[in-house]
Amino acid sequence: MSKYLVIGGNGIIGHFVTRRLVAQGHRPVVMSRAADPALIRDIRDKCDLVAGDVTDPAVTDHVVRAHGITHLAHLGAVLPSAAEEDPALGIRINVEGVANILSASVKNKVSRVILASSKGAYGRPPGRHAGPEYLPMPEDIRPYPFTVYGIAKVAAEQLGTWYMKKHGIEVASLRFATTVGPGKISRHGGHFSRSSLIVESAMAGKLLTVDEGGDSRSDTIYNDDAARGIVSALQATTLKYDLYNIGTGSGITLKEYAAAAMRAFPGSKIVIGDGEDRSGAQNFVMDISRAKENFGFTADPSPDHIVKSYVDTMKLLGLKPEV
C-alpha cells in the first residue's frame, strides 16, 4: 500500500491534502517545522504529525526512511513577503530544502514526488495573455519571475526535472493559480489575501473598501480544489509532463468575487474600485489542459463556489473572521 508524506500537510492548502488522503483510508505522515495541529485537529489521530526542517538533510532522510514513504507531496515554503525581506532564507528553504527532499527520495526509492510551485514562476503575463484578452497561459511560456519567491520556485522546478533525468525518480511541479482559503490573512497579508479579506469582512459584517483593481481578471481556485489537484497528480497512473498548471482555466474579478460574498451575507458591504490592479498582484488565466488530459483535473471557477467552500471550511474548523 502507498505511504504518503505531506510536507506542510498542516498548512492552509496542505491540510486539505491530508484530509483527502485520510478520507481515502490512508494514514499520511505530516511534516512541518512547527508541527502545529490547529488545522488538522479533528483528524489528528488519523495521521502522524512530525516536526522537521527540510534544510536539514539528515532529518528529511530519516522521516522518509523511517516511515517507508512511497509518495511525497512538498508544500512547505517561505512565503513571498518573507522571501523578499530575507532572500537567503527564501533560497535556503525553497531551493536547498527541495534538493534535500529530492535527494532523500532518490536514496529511499520514493516512487513519486509532487512539488508545489506557483504562478509566481511566470512573472508578468506577456502580450495577449495579459488583460484585456487574458488568453490562458500554457506551461511552456518562458518564465520571467520578478520576486525571490518566483525565482526560487523556478529553480525548484528545474531541480525536480534534473533529479528525474539524472536519477529516474518521477517528479512533477504544480503551478497554482491564485489560491483562496482560511488562514491566508494572518500568514500572507497584503494583496495576497484580498480574496480572504472580502469573504471574512462579509462574514463579520464589516465594510471593506478596495480602492482599485476591480476590473482585472485572475484565475482563482479554492484551496481544497488545489489540494485535489495535488492528490490527483500523486495518484495518477502516469505523469506525462514535469510541469502542470493547477487552476480553473478562467478568470474572475474582485468585483465578481465581492458580489458573491455579499450574496452569501446579505447586508454586508464590499466596495471595489474600478480599473486595473496596480497592487503588484499577478492577474492572468492559466491553461489547465495538461492536468485535465493527464489526470482529469478540473475545478469550479464560480465565485459562489469559492465563497461557499470558504465559509464551510471556517465552520468545520471553528474559525472566526480575522478582520
Give the per-residue pLDDT at 192. Answer: 65
Give the per-residue pLDDT at 189. Answer: 55
179 forms bridges with which residues in the sheet?
221
In a domain, 64, yes or no: yes
Weakest-pLDDT range from 105-109, 121-125, 132-136, 278-282: 278-282
Give the per-residue pLDDT at 187. Answer: 65
The rounded distance, in Å, linking the Cα atoms of 311 and 17 is 18
The stretch 57-83 carries a mean pLDDT of 95
The rounded distance, in Å, linking the Cα atoms of 268 and 322 is 16
In a domain, 211, yes or no: no
Q: What does DSSP say about strands 243-246 and 217-218: parallel, antiparallel, or unpaired?
A: unpaired
In a domain, 76, yes or no: yes
Phi, psi (5° rounding) for residue 72?
A: -130, 130
In a domain, 45, yes or no: yes
Q: What does DSSP say about strands 252-253 and 217-218: parallel, antiparallel, or unpaired?
A: antiparallel
Give the per-residue pLDDT at 116. Answer: 97
Kindly state the cell numbers that stand for 27: 494514514
Share of the chain above pLDDT 90, in %: 83
- Tell me the DSSP string of 259-309: HHHHHHSTT--EEE--S---SS-----B--HHHHHHH-------HHHHHHH
Weakest-pLDDT range from 31-35, 93-97, 102-106, 308-312: 31-35
- Structural domain range at position 161: 4-180+222-249+284-301
How many structural domains are present in the chain? 1
The rounded distance, in Å, linking the Cα atoms of 108 and 62 is 10
In a domain, 60, yes or no: yes
pLDDT score of 252 more than 70: yes
The rounded distance, in Å, linking the Cα atoms of 156 and 101 is 11
In a domain, 191, yes or no: no
pLDDT per residue as tens digits for the range 213-248? 888 999 999 999 999 999 999 999 999 999 999 999
Q: Confidence class of residue 55 from pLDDT cuts 50, 70 and 90? A: very high
In a domain, 115, yes or no: yes
The stretch 35-40 carries a mean pLDDT of 89
Q: What does DSSP say about strands 112-118 and 71-74: parallel, antiparallel, or unpaired?
A: parallel
Calculate the average pLDDT of the chain: 93
Q: How far is CA 32 from CA 117, 146, 270, in A?
A: 17, 27, 36
In a domain, 310, yes or no: no
Q: What does DSSP say about strands 170-176 and 243-246: parallel, antiparallel, or unpaired?
A: parallel
User: Which residue, 16, 23, 67, is CA-closest to 40?
Assistant: 16
Give the CATH number of the domain where residue 144 resides: 3.40.50.720
The one-letter amino acid at 110: V
User: Which residue, 201, 205, 197, 216, is CA-closest to 277?
Assistant: 216
CA 123 to chain CA centroid, nearest Å: 17
Residue of 75 and 80 predicted with greater confidence: 75
pLDDT per residue as tens digits for the range 132-189? 899 999 999 999 999 999 999 999 999 999 999 999 999 999 999 999 999 877 665 5
Contact 33, 60 (CB under 8 A): no
pLDDT score of 191 more than 60: no
The one-letter amino acid at 194: R
Phi, psi (5° rounding) for residue 171?
A: -135, 135
Q: Confidence class of residue 277 from pLDDT cuts 50, 70 and 90? A: confident
